[in-house]
Chains A and B, each alone.
Chain A
Amino acid sequence: MPPSQQRLRTLVRHPEFARGAREMVGVALGIGAWGLVTGMAMVKSGLEPWIAVLMSLTVFAGTAQLAVAPLMASGAPIWVVWATALCLNLRFVIFSSQWRPYFAQMPLKRRALMSYFTADLNYVLFMRRFPERRPAPEQLPYFWGGVLVNAGSWHVLSLVGITLGHHIPPEWGLGFAGTVALLAMTYSMLADRATWLPALLAGAAAVAAYALPLKLNMLVAIAAAVAVGTIIDHAKPRRKQAA
């Protein structure tokens, strides 16, 4: 057996690989529903099916795909399409700063491959599983187990969505399953009480700033959460001294 195949086999058989996959299965239904809706929306916006398929398989960023599909179909300038996708993906820049301590020791090729797969839910689950910011050997199998389920359910269901396209009535609102999946994810993170206020304010900020173009309300909300969280963190030790 060639060494690369050997390494792959060890990775897949590691118990953390199964754990990463299992924890992702809990929300895979939501990811799948979102993939389905994104696939449907892409062809409904008038994008040719082959473009939708290629985009789904390579771009691998749902919110960006949803937003740029109508732009591409209506023949918007390419730079507008790119600028929109860039704004929607800015949150990943923030996430990548948090991934770094775990990945920094790896060779560039592996870092590049892994960073491509760092979608939202991979990030959330990984950070919950490994809150301590230092590399550990069980992180690699956990990561890839989650990626298998996340990317797998996303791709399969978005292809189904592209194929079914016009046959699923939009009034069913199946994308709601994706929203509920994120809601469940949020609740599991709220176990730490320090996050309640930042979360609440982020929600209010996202709604209040909704009118901003390019979904920039999301960055406003993230900034609000980070600012409030930072203030709370810094207020804590002082309170202790006073007491």
Chain B
Amino acid sequence: MSAGEALLTIAGLVLITIATRGFFILPERELPMPEWLREGLRYAPIGALVAVIAPELVMSQGRLIGTWMDARLFGAAAATAWFVWRRDMLGTIVVGTGTMLIFRLGLGW
């Protein structure tokens, strides 16, 4: 990819970021949308979050993992336990990642 092509590609990507994030924010007049959909979209963020997390935890190379000996599962379990106990995000991240690293680097899982 030449420098010019790269710049054009990146310019387009920036426009895509702006257009998608501002889709309903930028127009002066409200875009029509049925009320039930507007209400239902409250569930979109939780859906998006879980959609990113679930495959990261239980899949590898596009397949469901077939073993419980996976460092990620223990990391997630430790993170869950910490969150239930302390309700603090920073601790959850540290404990979850730390546990995963112990199992991965220590046991090779």
Selected interface stretch from A139-147, A150-158, A160-168, A226-234:
A226-234
Contact call B18/A116, Cβ cutoff below 8 A: yes
Q: Which residues of A contact B89 (CB under 8 A)?
A: 26-27, 181, 184-185, 188
Q: How far is the CA of A64 from the CA of B20 in the complex (A)?
A: 12
Number of residues of chain B lying within 8 A (CB) of chain A: 71
Beta-carbon nearest neighbor of A28 in chain B: B90
Q: Which residues of A contact B45 (CB under 8 A)?
A: 95, 98, 120, 123-124, 127, 189
| B40 on interface, CB distance cutoff 8 Å | yes
Q: Which residues of A contact B79 (CB under 8 A)?
A: 180, 183-184
Q: How far is the CA of A198 from the CA of B44 in the complex (A)?
A: 9
State the Cβ distance, A43 to closest chain B Cβ, in Å. 14
| A134 on interface, CB distance cutoff 8 Å | no
Q: How far is the CA of A177 from the CA of B42 in the complex (A)?
A: 26
Q: Which residues of B contact A223 (CB under 8 A)?
A: 47
Of the candidates A73, A98, A207, A228, the one whose C-beta lies within 8 Å of that of B59 is: A207
Contact call B93/A225, Cβ cutoff below 8 A: no
Interface residue ranges of B1-54 to A (CB < 8 Å) = 1, 5-10, 12-14, 16-18, 20-26, 28, 30-31, 33, 36-54
Q: Which residues of A contact B33 (CB under 8 A)?
A: 97
The size bracket of the interface on A is 35 or more
Q: Which residues of B contact A36 (CB under 8 A)?
A: none
Interface residue ranges of A204-240 to B (CB < 8 Å) = 204-207, 210-211, 217-218, 220-230, 233-234
Q: Which residues of A contact B62 (CB under 8 A)?
A: 210-211
Q: How far is the CA of A86 from the CA of B49 in the complex (A)?
A: 18
| A10 on interface, CB distance cutoff 8 Å | no
Interface residue ranges of B82-96 to A (CB < 8 Å) = 83-84, 87-90, 92-94, 96
Q: Which residues of B contact A118 (CB under 8 A)?
A: 21, 25
Q: How far is the CA of A225 from the CA of B47 in the complex (A)?
A: 5
| A82 on interface, CB distance cutoff 8 Å | yes
Q: Which residues of B contact A227 (CB under 8 A)?
A: 40
State the Cβ distance, A81 to closest chain B Cβ, in Å. 6
Contact call A55/B10, Cβ cutoff below 8 A: yes
Beta-carbon nearest neighbor of B49 in chain A: A186
Q: How far is the CA of A26 from the CA of B25 in the complex (A)?
A: 28
Q: How far is the CA of A205 from the CA of B18 in the complex (A)?
A: 28
Selected interface stretch from A1-9, A11-19, A104-112:
A104-112
20 CB contacts below 8 A, A to B, read A58-B14, A59-B14, A64-B16, A72-B9, A95-B44, A95-B45, A96-B23, A114-B25, A115-B25, A118-B25, A173-B100, A176-B75, A179-B72, A184-B96, A190-B46, A206-B51, A206-B52, A207-B55, A218-B51, A221-B48
Tell me the B residues contacting A by CB distance below 8 Å. 1, 5-10, 12-14, 16-18, 20-26, 28, 30-31, 33, 36-59, 62, 64, 71-72, 75-76, 79-80, 83-84, 87-90, 92-94, 96-97, 100-101, 104-105
Tell me the A residues contacting B by CB distance below 8 Å. 25-27, 29-30, 33, 48, 51, 54-55, 58-61, 63-64, 68, 72-73, 75, 78, 81-82, 85-86, 89-100, 103-104, 108, 111-112, 114-116, 118, 120, 123-124, 127, 171-177, 179-190, 195, 198-200, 202-207, 210-211, 217-218, 220-230, 233-234
